[in-house]
Amino acid sequence: MGKQLIPHREVRMFALIAALLFALALIFQIAGVAVGTVVTVATLSIAGLLCVALHLMGVGAGWSLKR
């Protein structure tokens, strides 16, 4: 038998971080805001894509939020 996928409540950290970065990028884009010359919509989008890539690679898969 192969591996069985068992649902669990573990939070995927890089996926959560990516979602937050994309949300910030959307808010900045709608509001027309840039924080200095470094933190722009493009920077947040690229950081979000990096976090998605790391999540898809499985990096940080064992991390979970402690309650």
Looking at residue 13, its amino acid is M
**Residue 45 belongs to some domain of the structure:** yes
Number of structural domains in the chain = 1
**Residue 2 belongs to some domain of the structure:** no
pLDDT given for residue 23 in this prediction: 92
**Residue 63 belongs to some domain of the structure:** no
pLDDT given for residue 49 in this prediction: 92
Structure pTM?
0.67
58 phi and psi, to 5 degrees? Answer: 95, 5
| pLDDT by residue, tens only, the chain of 67 residues | 555 554 555 557 788 888 999 999 999 889 888 788 888 889 999 999 998 888 888 876 666 666 5
DSSP 25-64: HHHHHHHT--BTTTB-HHHHHHHHHHHHHHHHHTTTTT--
pLDDT given for residue 14 in this prediction: 80
**Residue 5 belongs to some domain of the structure:** no
Domain hosting 25: range is: 13-30+40-57
